[in-house]
Structure 1
Amino acid sequence: MPPRQRGIGRWLIPLIGVGALFAAPLGWWIQTWTPADRPARLAAIDVAESFKRNPQLEQVRDRGVLRVATLIEPTLYIPDSYRPQGLEYDLTGRFAERLGVDVEYVVVPTIEAAYEAVADNRVDLAAAGLAIDPARMQRFRFGPPYLTVSRKLIHATDQPSPTGLDDIDGASIALPTGSASRFWLERVIAQDNTIRLDVVEEQDKLAILEGIRHGDIDYALALSHIALLAHKLSDEVAIGPIVGPPVALAWVFSRHADESLLRVARRFFAEARSDRQLKMLVDRHYAQFERLDESLSRRFLQDLDTHARPYLPTFRRAGKRYEIDWRLLASVGYQESKWQPDAVSHQGAYGLMQIVLPTARDLGLTNPANPTANIMAGAKYIAQLRDLVPEQATEPDRTYLALAAYNVGIGHLRDALELTSRQGGDPTQWADVRERLPQLSDPAIYREMRYGYAHGNETVNYVENIRAFHDLMIWVATRKDLLADRQPPQPLPGMAMKTGSP
């Protein structure tokens, strides 16, 4: 088999792509994370006694802060100066809002550390993509499951693709330290003596992926959403089969505490399911990556480092002027032109933001070939379209709907909003409108609509790509900020700080 290429194109994507997915401020952890120095049994007694005197819910409300242990990972929690990101961030923020308190995010280095923070009462709960784990139920209570995923084998693309665990007998298999998959795998091996595996635990997921890339690790167990992201961002990581039963993710509470806070969490998730809030949040953080083409995501990360730099200051200015996240504007520019200022479409759209001449005239854009002017005009247009979206729509759905109008036109978007209402959907939610946009190419539908035929599928892909690019930019920027110039680690937004609800 020919040796792997080692040029810049082979290591750049894993460095800024997969690295942006999983790397975290290890130096900060080492400086700030200190284990409890009291014996665990005495600590547990103290914790239990404190909740007898004052129930956990009352303690949280008296403190005015919900303390949450979490991990820095895509889809979980990404600290960001503009707006932190992640499903756990959104969920815990809404839960804290229900309690009438702020949130303090305590970032921990490992899954095991998240559990210990709960056990030692340094936090009120752990929200870190943790799987419901029977092996830990004597010490912890799990909240209601909010997401069901699967375990998948991942491996280097030059490794043979297995059919299951029994197909990799004798190989090494890696998994994150302290994960529920470790205990599940131990039970499987104990019950089936034909499966012989060298189980390797690694501190973080980045080390696992690097081990796969360099051939140090044969296979790894990863939850399906993490496996998908890793494959999207590195052509050296392949996804193998599902192994084992489905895995339910849930928040973790101390078994030494009373159940007052847990009871509120149960009601919170029951209501979030009934009003589709939970479905919308899961969609917001996962759906765009399911649609994103692998080659496009990898090319984006390469171009971000090579083509975007001259235009980033302008995107920042435009974002500040029109109150739009500048990284979202940059993502629009990439989707439109791949950051090529001289791009011209077959429909007559010009420049980096691909503005057609009639719209350029309305915006006062006299020189579409000027990248600065083109970017500013594109941002202005998105802001105008955002004002035309129904005022009941809130962010980020308001901006997603404006992006759809940027692509398909405000008339066709209004048709899609009307169609959504007719069919019982919510026209203020992008997820509902996204389901109806493709119907605008169906003769049985578009002939009844005011503005007629539209390439609705293309518009859906357009918006979803921008959403994915936006998240990728946030993760890459987060990694670079954490490691920039080897400066001493600094507290990150949301770390050991009170924050308002998202």
Structure 2
Amino acid sequence: MRMRGSFRGATRSIIAVGFLAAALAGCNNEGSTPTRAQQPDNAGDTAYVETGDLAQIRQHGKLRLLIPRRLEGDNLPRSGHAFVESRELAEAFAKEMGLTADIVYIESHDKLIAQLLEGNGDVIVANLTATPERKKRIAFTAPIVLVHEQVVTRADDTDVKKPADLAGRRVAIRRSSSFWKTVQAMRRKHPKIEIEAVPENVDTETILHRVAGGEYDVTVADSNLVAEILAYRDDLRVAFDAARNRLIAWAVRPRATELRSALDAFLSESRVAEVYPSSYHDDLPGIKKRKVLRVLTRNHPATYFLWRGELMGFEYDLVRAFAKEHGLRVEMIVPPTWGDLVTWLKQGKGDMIAASMTITEERKKRGLLFSRPYNYVSEMVVARKNDKIDSKDDLTGRTQVVSPTTSYWTTLQRLKDSGLMFNLEAAPEDWPTDEIIAKVAESEYDLTVADSHLLDLELAWRDDIKGAFALGDPVPLGWAVYSGKPKLRDAFNAFIKKIYRGTFYNITYKKYFKNPRTIRSYVKFRAAQSGQLSPYDKFVRKYSQRYGFDWRFITAQMFQESRFDPKAKSWVGARGLMQVMPRTAQELELTNLKDPATGIHAGVKYMAWLRDRFEGKVPATEARWFALAAYNAGYGHVLDARRLAKQQGLNTGRWFDNVERSMLLLSKPKYYKRARYGYVRGGQPVHYVREIRTLYDAYTRVAPL
């Protein structure tokens, strides 16, 4: 869809090319407590203990990477930084050394250093601030990012501009963080500053949210995390820098000098911590020198989004393949509005636009150079499945409903001017295409228009609508660069020519636009007199009892996930009876998902982890419904829905008719552009939870506990 118009801009305060600090735990959190479903730590299960240097490590053939356990991904990166890239960088180093990367997941930051020194891992791959105290215990690598420690207040608290202005205010921080000593130093000069010790299990992002909500007055956070927050919140502001140029790095044992030297050389060659201007223009040679490709895009299901903790999207996958071919890292940057894509490109805030952008002469006149087309789309009339409408002549007397800020409105107005007799009505400007299509499916709207690839996306989720006919010839989509970058454009052309309609392209296209997202045929449940619900009741009972679930509840979920097919694989790569993501399975240490017992164990263990995350936040009777929603869409999207529910005066501790209503809103730009985890097709988790509840109720009537 080609949008017109704009909204208010967003702040960006990243000062270095690097990686987002571990958002949920915070880069300096050394005191988080594992929940019961997270136990036990797997570091002690490592096959060997090794405290030597690189020569001794090579004898094992593995490089053990100590990483904080992360059963869900970070927030949706909008300013170009993702923690997952840090892990991938470490894996690339291991490969360069001729070693296999062995991920050793640790429950919390406070255990990382001890596990390293005890020989249960070789490198800490976590964003640790290189403080003097830590340097006495471990050896830090070359920095992966350079940050400022920033004092953050509410946006309307404009009185705080310097340390003296903090007098009488409560600065909320964790004792274990590097910020604690920074604020103590300020308080020695300004004794009226108050320091409030925040519990160690409260992450920096939560502290920032509480500042915005008025629970805390002020906090301190690293600039890279602050930039990510300000990309989707406008109710916070940076008051001043409390400390500048703090180094974030990985760590090894003090005597592992050879390993440290090899890491330093690798990180230096990768140029991860180079400090660049916030805006610059470079063609391909300069981009290769910096080793970073900045991609301007939109948070949209056809381009770039977060689902079940995984970053994905058609544009995202294609760009990453191009970047890999050229030895580049990718920074995904999401401007506030569609119109800002071209503006930010001209200003040098990105190197390219990858956002399903139509190649037009008007855009070329504005200074854009386009690649050869990588996709073609048509504007399609969308109708209900059984609607007998086949051509433009059938539009007579019908009503088309589209947003007035889209190209669809222009196309339909042109058709009306040509003499076609139909009604044209405006949908709310902030309604996305999928929301309007849903209204057509529900007969609230008569007809609408959608680009063919967006319609394909909808048809992958539902079967109650159809594309009746195209309103014109297909139009090409291309990647855009600003004038003066012909070498980058030529590289795009060579890449697209090589992959277009090839195996990789076709698999990627089908993944997002063709593969059914759900099993549409409803398999009616029939229970035997024995009370058996599935062929796997023995395993379901075993693990449900271990983790404190009603086995009939888990069976209902398993049916919804896979229809009891242990070989099932979803469009995003989830596998097995409980459709667990491979990365989640790896973190749970239960990787053989095709095995029924293992697949069930992994799913139930993950459900227990999610349920425990909601303990103390929602009533015990509600936790399982929130856990289901998180299992389906991702824990972060449920957090966003609860925050939105609070803003709307709904009960944040009740899923049905409360938080589920807010979840539905997170597919609308008005709401998801301010959400930490961005866009989510909210109707999916809502439907998922309700379907499981219905089936669970049926199971309880035919099978004993």
TM-score by length of 2: 0.38
8 Å Cα contact 2:155-2:237 kept in structure 1: yes
Find out whether 1:228 has 2:259 as its counterpart. Answer: no
- Counterpart position of 1:100: 98
Find out whether 1:139 has 2:137 as its counterpart. Answer: yes
User: In 2, distance between residues paired with 1:77 and 1:141?
Assistant: 29
Deviation at 1:74, TM superposition (A): 11
- Counterpart position of 2:216: 217
8 Å Cα contact 1:70-1:105 kept in structure 2: no
**Aligned in 2, Cα 1:159/1:141: closer, same or farther, shift over 3 Å?**
same
User: In 2, distance between residues paired with 1:230 and 1:270?
Assistant: 28
The farther-off stretch of 209-218 and 26-35 is 26-35
- Counterpart position of 1:122: 120
Equivalent residues, number: 345
User: In 1, distance between residues paired with 2:289 and 2:112?
Assistant: 22
- Residues 170-185 of structure 1 mapped to structure 2, 5 A cutoff: 170-176=168-174, 178-185=176-183
Q: Match for 1:91: what amino acid?
A: L
Find out whether 1:243 has 2:242 as its counterpart. Answer: yes
Please list the CA deviations of residues 110-150 of structure 1 after superposition, one character each: whole Å capped at 9, or x if unmatched.
Answer: 44343343334333222222211001222111111232211
Q: Secondary structure at the match of 2:112?
A: helix
8 Å Cα contact 2:117-2:253 kept in structure 1: yes
From 413, 417, 422, the equivalent of 2:486 is: 417
User: In 2, distance between residues paired with 1:286 and 1:145?
Assistant: 20
- Residues 101-500 of structure 1 mapped to structure 2, 5 A cutoff: 101-108=99-106, 110-176=108-174, 178-189=176-187, 191-192=188-189, 194=191, 196-202=193-199, 203-255=202-254, 257-273=255-271, 319=314, 335=338, 354=358, 367=379, 371=450, 373-375=452-454, 381=476, 403-404=479-480, 416-418=485-487, 492=584, 495=587
8 Å Cα contact 1:27-1:489 kept in structure 2: no
Q: Match for 1:246: what amino acid?
A: N
**Aligned in 2, Cα 1:35/1:87: closer, same or farther, shift over 3 Å?**
closer
Structure 2: 5+ residue stretches without partners = 1-21, 26-31, 277-285, 322-330, 342-355, 363-369, 381-407, 409-448, 457-469, 493-572, 592-705
8 Å Cα contact 2:138-2:253 kept in structure 1: yes
User: In 1, distance between residues paired with 2:292 and 2:193?
Assistant: 37
User: In 1, distance between residues paired with 2:239 and 2:156?
Assistant: 12
Q: Match for 2:485: what amino acid?
A: A
**Aligned in 2, Cα 1:27/1:363: closer, same or farther, shift over 3 Å?**
same
Percent identical residues: 12
**Aligned in 2, Cα 1:107/1:216: closer, same or farther, shift over 3 Å?**
farther
Q: Secondary structure at the match of 1:495?
A: helix
- Counterpart position of 2:38: 32
Q: Secondary structure at the match of 2:121?
A: coil
From 75, 83, 89, the equivalent of 2:87 is: 89
8 Å Cα contact 2:144-2:272 kept in structure 1: no
The farther-off stretch of 197-206 and 103-112 is 103-112
**Aligned in 2, Cα 1:273/1:153: closer, same or farther, shift over 3 Å?**
same
Deviation at 1:372, TM superposition (A): 5.2
Structure 1: 5+ residue stretches without partners = 1-20, 39-45, 293-299, 339-351, 386-402, 421-425, 430-480
8 Å Cα contact 1:76-1:88 kept in structure 2: no
8 Å Cα contact 1:174-1:217 kept in structure 2: yes
8 Å Cα contact 1:66-1:96 kept in structure 2: no
Deviation at 1:64, TM superposition (A): 2.4
Q: Secondary structure at the match of 2:130?
A: coil
Q: Secondary structure at the match of 1:244?
A: strand
8 Å Cα contact 2:61-2:100 kept in structure 1: no
Q: Match for 1:404: what amino acid?
A: A
- CA-based RMSD: 6.0
User: In 1, distance between residues paired with 2:43 and 2:102?
Assistant: 23
Higher helix share: 1
8 Å Cα contact 1:68-1:125 kept in structure 2: yes
Deviation at 1:241, TM superposition (A): 0.5
8 Å Cα contact 1:76-1:128 kept in structure 2: no
Q: Secondary structure at the match of 2:216?
A: coil
Deviation at 1:416, TM superposition (A): 2.0
8 Å Cα contact 1:77-1:89 kept in structure 2: no
Please list the CA deviations of residues 469-499 of structure 1 after superposition, one character each: whole Å capped at 9, or x if unmatched.
Answer: xxxxxxxxxxxx99xxx99999627637799
User: In 2, distance between residues paired with 1:263 and 1:319?
Assistant: 38
User: In 2, distance between residues paired with 1:282 and 1:30?
Assistant: 47
Deviation at 1:86, TM superposition (A): 3.8
- Determine which structure has more spread, i.e. the larger CA radius of gyration: 2
Deviation at 1:224, TM superposition (A): 0.9
**Aligned in 2, Cα 1:487/1:247: closer, same or farther, shift over 3 Å?**
same
TM-score by length of 1: 0.51
Please list the CA deviations of residues 47-103 of structure 1 after superposition, one character each: whole Å capped at 9, or x if unmatched.
Answer: 7xx53xx53553256142432324759998989xxxx86441343133122212233
Deviation at 1:231, TM superposition (A): 1.5
8 Å Cα contact 2:167-2:190 kept in structure 1: no
User: In 2, distance between residues paired with 1:236 and 1:151?
Assistant: 19
8 Å Cα contact 1:71-1:107 kept in structure 2: yes
Deviation at 1:152, TM superposition (A): 0.5
Please list the CA deviations of residues 285-304 of structure 1 after superposition, one character each: whole Å capped at 9, or x if unmatched.
Answer: 89679xx9xxxxxxx77xx6
User: In 1, distance between residues paired with 2:312 and 2:143?
Assistant: 42
